[in-house]
Amino acid sequence: MGVTVDYEAEIQALKRSMNAVILAHYYQESEVQDVADFVGDSLALAQAAEKTDADVIVFCGVHFMAETAKILNPSRQVLLPDLKAGCSLSDRCPPAAFKAFKDKHPDAFVVSYVNSSAAVKAMSDVICTSSNAVKIVNQVPKDRPILFAPDQHLGRHVMKQTGRDMVLWPGSCIVHEIFSEKKLVQLKVEHPDAEVVAHPECEQQVLRHADFIGSTKALLDYVVKSPKSKFIVVTEAGILHQMKKGAPHKTYIPAPPDNGCACNECPYMRLNTLEKLYRCMRDRTPELVLPADLQGAALAPLKRMLEWSV
């Protein structure tokens, strides 16, 4: 018989011996969230990565998030449990195509969503997340046209909130773009006492049914503080774990996508498991490595985001 490994205990021991910090996104499996030192959305994770004094950053999220941590901490080792944990939104904005798109708008101030590659970040003036996108766009000089990439749905939402016209890269997230408006309406009929909370990466026909639209962290804060007791949650289902921890007496209904699944999970986020987390810390691999010149070019727009988010 094989030896059973207590992954949680081993991870905690490795963390101490390595002087490591474990950062996890809200969309990770619940058991991964529970061993992390810090769980948050993209903005909070970037802020935590910038402030850490750990020697090793173990990033339980997707590739662009680990890249962000490395850009902010070029001298530290950054580990990612599964290098295949990518992002459909980032993949749909190839750097060469983005450069050609940007060249057509030479006067534009480029605001890139954090869900993008390091190469796209390096071609940007400032980065944003869904938490701070409105705040960031409001600080762009009024005399500059804005190019926003890569999520067109978030871009349209930000345009409505800020009144700024923007040229949008035609990208979208596979998780948020397949929520079914028809199934959402059916859920609202079945649960008339429930509020609908949705992420701005969703399509407009879905967002129009929402009582509250916000980033992952904003959705979490809203449902915990709301006097309502039932919510239909239109984003990746991993956030339900934190919602249940924050307000366990409330009811959370994951909105189904337009396929046969009961809830909507990011296939890339779910590549990270407790076992892979343990093995990557034990073996110190896979490690996220970026060319120094790319790190340097991408650092300025990331730093600008953190400064503008204060």
Binding-site members for iminosuccinate are 25, 42, 113-115, 130, 199-201, 216
Q: Which residues pair with 213 in a beta bridge?
A: 198
Share in percent of the chain as helix, strand, coil (round to 5): 45, 15, 40
Binding residues for [4Fe-4S] cluster: 87, 173, 266
Rounded Cα gap, residues 43 and 23, in angstroms = 12
Tokens of 242: 């934190």
- Which residues lie closer than 8 Å to 64 by C-beta, 6 or more apart? 87, 90, 114, 115, 116, 117, 118
Q: At what angle do helices 216-225 and 239-246 cross, to 10 degrees?
A: 30
Nearest Cα to Cα of residue 89 among 236, 221, 233: 236
Rounded Cα gap, residues 265 and 203, in angstroms = 17
Binding residues: 25, 42, 87, 113-115, 130, 173, 199-201, 216, 266
